[in-house]
Amino acid sequence: MSGKIYKAKHAQGQSIEGECLSASDGFSARYDLDRLKGVFSRPAHKLFGQSYKDKILVLDAAKGGVASAWMLYEMKSRDLCPSAIIFNAVNPILAQGAAHAGIPMLSGFDCDITQAIASGARLRIDTKNQTVEVL
């Protein structure tokens, strides 16, 4: 829905604009991604086969721990990473990993953000104001 603004409870990183991939699925950098090809690789994932490079990911919840966190940094170092990640719920370890990698992240909305924002939407993320706007 164009022009709609969603307020997050938590936000970090730089403000950006970009196209999103959205799915009511979780996110594990370790188990869901082919980090060398830049695509979702777990066959059961709703975004299977799609490239996450330079996309804003809109997903349900962060999965995984320390391995997923350091993998975000490794992905960023090879310029093969999402431009931002938006979650309904995120764990502290993945939030730290995103901060270390310089990947903007927002989480905690009053609605299911994966149902509110469709894949392909262009988004404006304002981390200072903790908002996501559908353009």
Average pLDDT, the chain: 95
Q: Does domain 5-134 have CATH number 3.50.30.10?
A: yes
pLDDT in tens, 32-88: 999 999 999 999 999 999 999 999 999 999 987 788 888 999 999 999 999 999 999
Q: What is the 3-state secondary structure (H, E, C) of the chain?
A: CCCCEEECCEEECCCEEEEEEECCCCECCCCCEECCCCEECCCCCCCCCCECCCCEEEEEEECCCHHHHHHHHHHHHCCCCCCEEEEEECCHHHHHHHHHHCCCEEECCCCCHHHHCCCCCEEEEECCCCEEEEC
Mean pLDDT of 97-103: 94
Please tell me the pTM assigned to this model: 0.95
